[in-house]
Structure 1
Amino acid sequence: MLNLKIEPYENVLFQKGNTIVGESQLPNSMDSDNDTNLHYRKTIQFDNTDLNSDDDDGKKKESYSVYEAGILSTATDEDGIPSATHPMEKQILKKMDMFLIPLMCLLYFLSNLDKSNIGNAEIAGLSKSLNLKGREYNTCVTVFYGSYIVFDPIGTNLLKIIGPKYLMTICLLSFGLISLCTAWCKSFGGLVAVRVLLGCMEGIIYPAINMYLSVCYRREQYAKRFAYVFSAACLSSSFGGLISYGCSKIKGSHLAAWQYIFIVEGAISIGCTPLYFFGMAKDLENSWFFNKEEKEYVMERYKTMNTFNPEEKFDWEQVWFAIKDIKTWVSAVALFGIDLTTFGLTVFLPIIITSLGFTNVRAQLMTVPVYFLTAIVFFICANLSDRLKLRSPFIVGACLTTIIGLAIVLGSQIHGVRYFGVYILCMGIYVNAAVNCLWLSGNVGNYFKRATALGINLFLGSGSGLVAGQIFFAKEKPRYITGLSICLAFQVLSIIMTLLQLFLYMWENKKKDAITKRCNETGEPIPYDDKLSDKNPQFKYMY
Structure 2
Amino acid sequence: METRESEVDAVDKVLFVQTGSDESCATSNHDARSLKEKNGADGGNVYDQEVNATTTDDDGVPSASHPMEVKILRKMDIFLIPLMAMLYFLSNLDKSNIGNAAVAGMSADLNLVGTQYNVAVTVFFGTYVLSDPIGANLLKIIGPPKLMSFCLLAFGLISLCTAWIKNYAHLLVVRLLLGVFEGMIYPSINMYLSICYRRDQYAKRFAYVFAAACLSSSFGGLISYACAKISGSMAAWQYIYIIEGAISIGFVPFYIFGLSKNLEDSWFFNEEEKEYVVQRFKTMDTADPNDKFEWHQAWLALKDIKTWASALALFGIDLTTFGLTVFLPLIINTMGFSTVKVQLMTVPVYFLTAFVFFVCAKLSDHLRLRSPFIIGACVTTSVGIAIVLASQSHGVRYFGVYILCMGIYVNAATNCLWLSGNIGNYFKRATAVGCNLFFGSSSGLVSGQIFLNSERPRYIKGLSICLAFQGLSIVMTIVQFFLYRRENKKKEKIIDRCRELNERIPFDPKLGDMNPQFRYMY
Q: TM-score surpassing 0.5? A: yes
1:30 to 38, 44, 63: 44
- Kindly report the root-mean-square deviation, in angstroms, between the aligned alpha carbons of the 2 structures: 1.6
Q: With a CA cutoff of 8 Å and minimum separation of 6, indicate the structure with the bigger relative contact order.
A: 2
Q: In the alignment, is the contact (CA less than 8 A) between 1:112 and 1:237 conserved in 2?
A: yes
Displacement of 1:532 in angstroms is 1.0
- The offset of 1:174, in angstroms, is 0.4
Task: Report if aligned partners of 2:39, 2:50 keep a CA contact under 8 Å in 1.
Answer: no
Equivalent residue letter for 1:333: L
Partner of 1:46: none
Q: 1:11 to 1:172 in 2, by over 3 A?
A: closer
Of the structure 1 ranges 498-507 and 278-287, higher mean CA displacement relative to structure 2 is found in 278-287
2:298 aligned residue (319, 335, 349)? 319
Q: Distance in 2 between the 1:30 and 1:339 partners?
A: 40
* Contact residue 35 and residue 505 of structure 2 kept, 8 A: no
> Is the 8 Å Cα contact of residues 34 and 542 (structure 1) preserved in structure 2?
no
Q: What letter corresponds to residue 98 of structure 1 in structure 2? A: I
Letter in 2 for 1:30: G
In the alignment, which of 49, 59, 79 is matched to residue 79 of structure 1? 59
Match of 1:48 in 2: none
Q: Is 1:333 the counterpart of 2:312 in the alignment?
A: yes
Gap runs ≥5 in structure 1: 1-6, 17-23, 38-68
Give 1:508's aligned residue.
Answer: 487
Structure 2 partner of 1:298 = 277
Rounded Cα–Cα distance in structure 2 between residues aligned with 1:492 and 1:34: 32
- Aligned partner letter, 1:433: A
Distance in 1 (CA, whole Å) between partners of 2:340 and 2:140 is 44
- Residues 56-105 of structure 1: CA distance to partner in whole angstroms, max 9, x if unpaired? xxxxxxxxxxxxx223x1x34x5221000000000000000000000011
User: How do residues 32-71 of structure 1 correspond to structure 2 at under 5 angstroms?
Assistant: 33-34=47-48, 36-37=50-51, 69-71=52-54
Change (3 A) 1:455 1:248: same
Partner of 1:209: 189
Q: Which has the larger radius of gyration?
A: 1
- How far residue 526 of structure 1 moved from its aligned partner, in angstroms, is 1.6
User: Are 2:30 and 1:9 equivalent residues in the alignment?
Assistant: yes
Query: Which residue of 2 is the match for residue 161 of structure 1?
Result: 141
Write out per-residue CA displacement over residues 270-310 of structure 1, whole angstroms, 9 at most, x where no aligned residue.
Answer: 01111111111111100000000000000000000111111
Residue 503 of structure 2 aligns with which residue? 524
- Give, in angstroms, the shift of residue 504 of structure 1: 0.2
Matching residue of 2:167: 187
Structure 2 match to 1:228: 208
Contact 2:46 2:519 (8 Å CA) reproduced: no
- Matches of 2:34 and 2:437 in 1, distance apart? 41
Distance in 2, matches of 1:309 and 1:209, equals 17
Q: Give the TM-score, by structure 1 length.
A: 0.89
- In the alignment, what sits opposite 1:178? 158
Partners of 1:447 and 1:34 lie apart in 2 by 25
> 1:430 Cα shift?
0.3
- Worse-matched range after superposition: 333-342 or 127-136: 127-136
Identify the residue that residue 420 of structure 1 maps to in structure 2. Answer: 399
- Equivalence for 2:475: 496
C-alpha contact (below 8 Å) 2:68/2:273 kept by paired residues: yes
The CA deviation at 1:36 is 2.4
* Residue 530 (structure 1) shift: 1.4
The answer on whether the counterparts of 1:356 and 1:415 sit within 8 Å (CA) in structure 2 is: yes
% identity of equivalent residues: 68
Tell me what 1:41 maps to. Answer: none
After superposition, the C-alpha distances for 1:323-380 in whole angstroms (9 at most, x for unaligned) are 0000000000000000000000000000000001101110000000000000000000
Distance 2:421 2:40 in 1: 23
Partner of 2:247: 268
| Residue in structure 2 matched with residue 65 of structure 1 by the alignment | none
Q: How far apart, in 1, do the equivalents of 2:474 and 2:401 lie?
A: 20
Partner-residue secondary structure (3-state), 1:183 = helix
Unaligned residue ranges in structure 2 (runs of 5+): 1-27
AA matched with 2:117 = Y
Match of 1:464 among 443, 449, 457: 443
Provide the rounded CA distance (Å) in 1 between the counterparts of 2:39 and 2:82.
43
Q: Which residue of 1 aligns with 2:387?
A: 408
CA distance in 2, matches of 1:13, 1:101: 32
Relative distance call for 1:511 and 1:171 in structure 2 (3 A) is: same
Letter matched to residue 70 of structure 1? A
Is contact 1:145–1:465 with CA below 8 Å preserved after alignment? Answer: yes
Paired position in structure 2 for 1:365: 344
Equivalent residue letter for 1:94: R
* Distance of aligned partners of 1:528 and 1:238 in 2 relative to their CA distance in 1, 3 Å threshold: same
* Partner secondary structure for residue 478 of structure 1: coil
| Conserved? CA contact 1:34–1:540, under 8 Å | no
Between the aligned partners of 2:490 and 2:42, the Cα distance in structure 1 is 18
Moved over 2 A (4+): 10-16, 24-30, 32-37
* Offset at residue 32 of structure 1 (A): 5.5
Tell whether the 8 Å contact from 2:39 to 2:45 is kept in structure 1 after alignment.
Answer: no
Partner of 1:455: 434
